Amino acid sequence: MKQVTESSADENAEGWHKWVAVILLTLLFATSFVDRFILSLLADPISRDLGLGDSQLGLLMGAGFSILYSMAGLPLAHWIDTHQRKGLLLAGIILWSLTTIASGFATGFVSLLVCRSGVAIGEAVLTPAAVSLIADYFIREKRATPMAVYSSVGAIMGTGSFIVGAYALELAGSIGPNLNMAPWRLTLTMVGMPGLLLATCFFLFVREPQRRISADKLAGSASLADFFVYLRKNWAFYFPFLLSGGLLTIFGLGMPTWMPTILVREHGFEPSAAGYAFGFTTAPAGLIGIFFWPWLAMRIEKIRRNAGPPVALLIAACAALVVFPIAPRIENATLMLAWMTAAVMIGGAWAVLPVIGFQIFSPSRFRGRLAAMNLLSMNLLGFGVGPILIVFLGRMGAEPGGDSILSLGLSRAGILVAPLLLVAMIICVIQSRNLADIED
């Protein structure tokens, strides 16, 4: 793999092709959300047709996916940091698309689990590769906007994926009988196909950028051992920085997981109305947050080098200290949703600023692996701990069968998470002074 200096990298990065790459990466990210969450929409018909229990469905949709997705990310990111990225990314796209399609032909739990494993491994390539590619397409000062465009999908498709999936299911229901296929099977086949089309476009229109050389003392060494040497040297910064994403996700994932149920049980909403109320109210705030926090971070970065993302995250943590504990316990539904809008905007800081931070103050040869470790923290704590912890916290000292268990648990999770976020980011702001200046 060729590497280039700053000046020649800038010349290589000029032109329309870099924004074509960003747009295609963003569309792929959106497609990955649909393929990831489609099983939640199809759980009931799959359960009936394949005879699956709730525990098996929970494994397929939750821990079984997220753990493999997280664990596969680091070795794949090592390849991304040391080899050609375009080929590996294309392989990942094809793998998750084909296994999504193959899920429509599953005959039982084992075959469906194998397919879901393929989806997890394939999708684990995408974000580390996107972080690395965008960093090489754009110079340091211009990375915030394309990274925010890419990350904005996370704010939109968390709920938007269900809208896309519902439309696909409705379409499958109308044409499925003519093809002699159950609607859920045809739906899985349909939502897997756009990935293959986007993979073709990516192959035809996206060029592998030449890697930038980070102007630090360790430039040129990219082995796994060197990566851990770098982490050990800077552990006082990276440990709280990476941990903060997982801590935030405990509350951030628990909120969309349980808020519709809270609206139904505690505020008298119908299930569909609860989904629409939460989704349409909070999605714009998430989108605004995705662009506001990078703007703020880059303004701070001009004042103090390497401090932009940590200081912006510190500001978000201060806001979380107030909003997270209070929002779930507000009795008026309209007012509670307004506060939840603020909570979603705060959470948007961790959706985009860590990866922008890696592009600002991390050596180029380690960015993919750092992005994978950030995903590891967020998935293991968010998916693995968050929803269950909220139920546990809500039941502590509460009356059995009470309607307010979930809102109480979510509030208590906020009380637990927000101070830890604040401490972590104070440490990061202090330790950011010790990070080496990276010129790329």
SS3 category, 3: strand
Residues 199 and 344 in one domain: no
Residues 224 and 361 in one domain: yes
d(CA 325, CA 328): 7
Nearest to 116 by CA among 197, 43, 202, 179: 43
Residue type at 162 in one-letter notation: F
| Residue given tokens 């999770």 in the structure block | 413
Residues 146 and 234 in one domain: no
Residues 309 and 401 in one domain: yes
d(CA 104, CA 181): 9
Residues 392 and 279 in one domain: yes
368-372, 396-400, 418-422: which is most confident: 418-422
SS3 category, 4: strand
Residue type at 345 in one-letter notation: M
Residues 372 and 236 in one domain: yes
DSSP letters for 183-241 = HHHHHHHHHHHHHHHHHHHHHHH-PPPPEEPP-STTTT---HHHHHHHHHHTHHHHHHH
DSSP letters for 41-86 = HTHHHHHHHHT--HHHHHHHHTHHHHHHHHHHHHHHHHHHHHS-HH
53 has a pLDDT exceeding 90:
no
**Which of 153, 186, 212 marks a domain boundary?**
212
Residues 137 and 269 in one domain: no
Nearest to 245 by CA among 370, 63, 410, 78: 370
CATH of the domain at 352: 1.20.1250.20
Q: Do 106 and 50 contact (CB within 8 A), yes or no?
A: yes
DSSP H or E segment with residue 115: helix 109-123
Number of Cβ within 10 Å of residue 117's Cβ equals: 17
pLDDT digits 0-9 by tens, 61-113? 767 777 788 788 878 888 888 888 999 999 999 999 999 999 999 999 999 99
Instruction: Give the chain's length.
Output: 440
Residues 223 and 204 in one domain: no
**Mean pLDDT, to the nearest integer, of 121-132?**
91
Residues 301 and 176 in one domain: no
d(CA 292, CA 278): 21
Residues 221 and 183 in one domain: no
**Which of 212, 230, 263 marks a domain boundary?**
212
| Residue given tokens 């997220």 in the structure block | 66
Give me the domain span that covers residue 416.
215-440
Nearest to 348 by CA among 315, 316, 384: 316
2 has a pLDDT exceeding 90:
no
152 has a pLDDT exceeding 80:
no
> Of 46-55, 182-191, 227-236, 421-430, which range is least confident?
46-55
280 has a pLDDT exceeding 80:
no
Residues 68 and 154 in one domain: yes
pTM for the complete prediction? 0.71
114-181-61 Cα angle (round to 5) = 35
Q: Please state the domain count of the chain.
A: 2
125: pLDDT confidence band, cut at 50, 70 and 90?
very high
Q: Do 296 and 318 contact (CB within 8 A), yes or no?
A: no
| Residue given tokens 């972590």 in the structure block | 424
**Mean pLDDT, to the nearest integer, of 380-390?**
78
Q: Any residues with CB less than 8 A from the CB of 322 and at least 6 apart, and which?
A: none
Residues 207 and 219 in one domain: no
**Mean pLDDT, to the nearest integer, of 156-160?**
70
Residue type at 148 in one-letter notation: A
**Which of 192, 212, 232 marks a domain boundary?**
212
